[in-house]
Amino acid sequence: MGIVRGGDAEYEEFEPSYEEKAEKLEAILKPLLEENPSFLKLSGKYIATDEVKIIGKFLPMKSVKALDVSDNQINDEALQHLFESDILGGLEELYLQVNFLTGQGLSELVKSEKVKLKNLKVLVLSDNRLSDSSIAEMLLSSHFLNLESLDVGWNEAGNETAKALGRTTNFPKLKKLEMERSYIDEEGFSELVQGELADQLEVLDLSANKIKDESMKILAQAPKWKSLKTLRISQNRFGNEGARALGESVSMSGLTQLYVGRNYFDAEGAQAIYESKTLKNLKTLIIKEDVDDGSGLVNYSRPELLRPDDPNAI
């Protein structure tokens, strides 16, 4: 630091060389990998492009099956290095939420012919800057044939994503799809329920979207959902009509968990869901959430007799 007369201070920024970064990072990685060779958690470690390059070339990383690099500074360039690393080819789980990924970077990844991460089963991309079109491109890509769980929530997933979900045949093993806070409307849902994917999903998270009555009817009345066990549609915008459609849904009769709190229906809609004659397999029904102090959820799980219109209910 250099001090200049008059009270001003000049700070000389120190940027370690790539070699210095590698030496420091490898010293951190070695004991972590000795403790657990298959799982490496590096969230919130200020990891950026150079660090990703180092990780992708560090030979002991070959044993890692699950890599958590969430809440870092990973950008589009770093994403390419991750997916094109020979060392990381054995990864089965990759957590990339809360980083600096953009739609352009995802589109470039989808088009790359150098992708080595072909064994991924779990991929989390939530809370980045991914565009609707780039997520749609990803869903039509052949890079993710083994993926079982995908989270693209808190991005810009919209109707293009929904249409791709209705068309894709490249996710034959996908069982869990999370799209919290997305932007799909009636047109998109109409496309989504046309494809094979709707019948193979076991868990679907559409929390905090803008699902209104018409969208809820499309979802509930579609002759799909043969495998669906868990549906999360809390914090949407459907009222009594949508609630009745859900309560009368035959195609969703396999549900065992339903999260439907913080929507616009009143006691009438709540009763239609709670007293449903078709949703007979529910073991967990969250039909009301505490909105006053955020202390948690009110669980109307069968066989407890806590009615949604019970004056003693929270």
- Residues 98-127: what's their mean pLDDT? 97
Q: Which residues pair with 203 in a beta bridge?
A: 176, 230
Q: Which residues pair with 41 in a beta bridge?
A: 68
Assigned token pair, 30? 């070695």
Helices (H), the chain: 18-35, 49-57, 76-83, 103-111, 132-139, 159-167, 186-192, 197-200, 213-221, 240-247, 267-274
How would residue 86 be classed by pLDDT, with cut points 50, 70 and 90?
A: very high
Per-residue burial over 266-299, b if 16 or more Cβ lie within 10 Å, else e, is: eeebbbbbbebeebeebeebbbbbeeeeeeebee
CATH classification for the domain delimited by 17-201, as one of 1.10.10.60, 3.80.10.10, 3.40.640.10, 2.130.10.10 = 3.80.10.10
Mean pLDDT for the chain overall: 90
* Higher-scoring residue by pLDDT: 214, 2: 214
Q: What share of the chain has pLDDT > 90, as a percent?
A: 86
Q: Tell me how far apart the terminal alpha carbons of the chain are, to the nearest angstrom.
A: 59
**Residue ranges per domain, the chain?**
17-201
For residues 280 and 64, give the distance between their C-alpha atoms in angstroms, rounded to a whole number.
42
Residue 214: pLDDT over 90: yes
Nearest Cα residue to 178 out of 210, 201, 144, 211: 201
For residues 192 and 186, give the distance between their C-alpha atoms in angstroms, rounded to a whole number.
10
